[in-house]
Amino acid sequence: MSHLMNTYSRQPVTFTHGEGVWLWDKEGNKYLDALAGVAVNGLGHAHPKLVNAISQQVAKMIHVSNIYGIAEQEKLADKLAEISGMDKVFFCNSGCEANEAAIKLARLYGHNKGIETPETIVMERAFHGRTMATLSATGNRKAQAGFEPLVSGFIRVPYDDLEAVKQIASRKNNVVAILVEPVQGEGGVYIPADMAAYLQGLRKVCDDNGWLMMLDEVQSGIGRTGTWFAFQHTGMTPDVMTLAKGLGSGVPIGACVAKGAAADIFTPGKHGSTFGGNPLATTAGLTTLHAIQDEKLRENAQKMGDLICDGLRSALKGVAGVMVIRNAGLMIGIELDRPCADLVKMALETKLLINVTAEKVVRLLPPLVINEAEANELAARLSVLIKQFLSQ
Ligand X SMILES: *Cc1c(COP(=O)(O)O)cnc(C)c1O
**Angle between the N-to-C axes of helices 162-171 and 195-209, in degrees from 0 to 180, rounded to the nearest 10:** 10
Contact, 32 vs 351, CB < 8 A? yes
Least separation in angstroms between CB 71 and ligand X: 25
Q: Of the candidates 160, 181, 335, 374, which one interacts with ligand X according to CB under 6 A?
A: 181
Would you list the DSSP string of 141-163?
HHHHTTSPSPP--EEEE-TT-HH
Q: Of the candidates 73, 120, 219, 302, which one interacts with ligand X according to CB under 6 A?
A: 219
Q: Of the candidates 45, 125, 128, 233, which one interacts with ligand X according to CB under 6 A?
A: 128
Q: How do beta strands 175-180 and 119-123 pair?
A: parallel
Task: Catalogue the E-assigned strands of the chain.
Answer: 15-19, 22-25, 30-33, 88-92, 119-123, 154-157, 175-180, 212-216, 240-243, 254-258, 322-328, 331-336, 352-353, 355-357, 361-364
By CB under 6 A, tell whether 216 contacts ligand X. yes
Least separation in angstroms between CB 72 and ligand X: 21
By CB under 6 A, tell whether 96 contacts ligand X. yes
Least separation in angstroms between CB 205 and ligand X: 21
DSSP helix, strand, coil percent of the chain (3-state; round to 5): 40, 20, 40
CA distance 206 to 219: 23
Return the number of the residue (33 or 374) whose C-beta is nearest ligand X.
33
Return the number of the residue (80 or 218) whose C-beta is nearest ligand X.
218
Return the number of the residue (44 or 188) whose C-beta is nearest ligand X.
188
Return the number of the residue (98 or 386) whose C-beta is nearest ligand X.
98
By CB under 6 A, tell whether 185 contacts ligand X. yes
Please give the backbone phi and psi of residue 102, each rounded to the nearest 5 degrees, phi first.
-65, -40
Least separation in angstroms between CB 128 and ligand X: 5
By CB under 6 A, tell whether 186 contacts ligand X. yes
Please give the backbone phi and psi of residue 65, each rounded to the nearest 5 degrees, phi first.
-75, 155
Least separation in angstroms between CB 116 and ligand X: 28
By CB under 6 A, tell whether 127 contacts ligand X. yes
Least separation in angstroms between CB 96 and ligand X: 3
Under 8 Å CB-to-CB from 59, ≥6 apart: which residues?
A: none
Return the number of the residue (97 or 335) whose C-beta is nearest ligand X.
97
Q: Of the candidates 70, 244, 255, 280, which one interacts with ligand X according to CB under 6 A?
A: 244
Would you list the DSSP string of 351-363?
TEE-EEETTTEEE
Q: Tell me which stretch binds ligand X (CB under 6 A): 92-100, 222-230, 264-272, 319-327.
A: 92-100
Task: Write the CA distances from 299 to 302, 315, 329, 353, integer angstroms.
Answer: 5, 24, 9, 23
Return the number of the residue (216 or 239) whose C-beta is nearest ligand X.
216
By CB under 6 A, tell whether 129 contacts ligand X. yes
What mask, x for binding ligand X by CB under 6 A, covers residues 31 to 60? ------------------------------
Would you list the DSSP string of 231-283?
GGGTT---SEEEE-GGGGTTS--EEEEE-GGGGG---TTS---SSTT-HHHHH
Q: Of the candidates 89, 137, 206, 218, which one interacts with ligand X according to CB under 6 A?
A: 218
What mask, x for binding ligand X by CB under 6 A, covers residues 138 to 167? ------------------------------
Return the number of the residue (140 or 293) whose C-beta is nearest ligand X.
140
**Residues counted in the chain:** 392
Active site (catalytic) residues: 127, 216, 245
Contact, 38 vs 363, CB < 8 A? no
CA 332 to chain centroid: 13
CA distance 182 to 151: 23
- Give the number of residues in contact with ligand X, rule: CB under 6 A: 15
Applying CB under 6 A, which residues contact ligand X?
94-96, 99, 127-129, 181, 185-186, 216, 218-219, 244-245
